[in-house]
């Protein structure tokens, strides 16, 4: 899989340093998690272009994140300081992620078809989050 850095450099993920790969996973995860209300593990600034990808093409964002995780899982040289955060990210993204996502949608009163795709569920959460933010803005003015 190819990865484009914020500096515009194109790298094959298999050639990325493990620390860069980990930080890329964390960045992609955090932007998605922020939009849907899951725990985040920020390390640096947020990127509008990543939020835009999440909102406009959640499936592509998820596929990129998945590709990065697959490559990171092959690594045996992850630094100890990354392991705890990666464990939390991994737990959120594995099988339990769908259950948490569907449960959260149900709690919010959004109809959920359990056969619904992850992409559609993420879109619904983003729409609700955007709607709630607009409502809050209106009530504060």
In the chain, the number of structural domains is 1
pTM of the model: 0.67
Cα(126)–Cα(67) distance, integer angstroms: 22
Over the chain (141 residues), the average pLDDT of each successive run of 10 is 89 95 93 83 80 84 91 94 89 70 75 61 71 64 58
- The CA distance from 22 to 72, in Å, is 7
* Domain enclosing residue 70, as ranges: 2-139
Question: Tokens at residue 136, please?
Answer: 């809050």
The reported pLDDT for the residue numbered 136 is 63
Alpha carbons 23 and 20: distance in angstroms, whole number: 5
In sequence order, the 6+-apart residues with CB closer than 8 A to the CB of 21 are 13, 68, 71, 72, 75
């Amino acid at each position: 899989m190819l990865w484009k850095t914020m500096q515009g450099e194109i790298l094959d993920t298999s050639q990325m340093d493990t620390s860069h790969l980990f930080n890329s996973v964390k960045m992609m995860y955090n932007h998605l998690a922020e939009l849907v209300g899951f725990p985040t593990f920020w390390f640096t600034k947020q990127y509008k272009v990543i939020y835009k990808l999440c909102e406009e093409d959640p499936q592509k964002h998820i596929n990129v994140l998945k590709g990065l995780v697959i490559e990171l899982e092959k690594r045996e040289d992850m630094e100890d300081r990354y392991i705890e955060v990666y464990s939390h990210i991994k737990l959120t993204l594995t099988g339990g992620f769908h259950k948490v996502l569907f449960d959260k949608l149900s709690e919010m009163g959004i109809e959920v078809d359990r056969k619904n795709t992850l992409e559609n569920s993420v879109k619904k959460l983003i729409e609700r989050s955007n709607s709630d933010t607009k409502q809050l803005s209106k009530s504060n003015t």
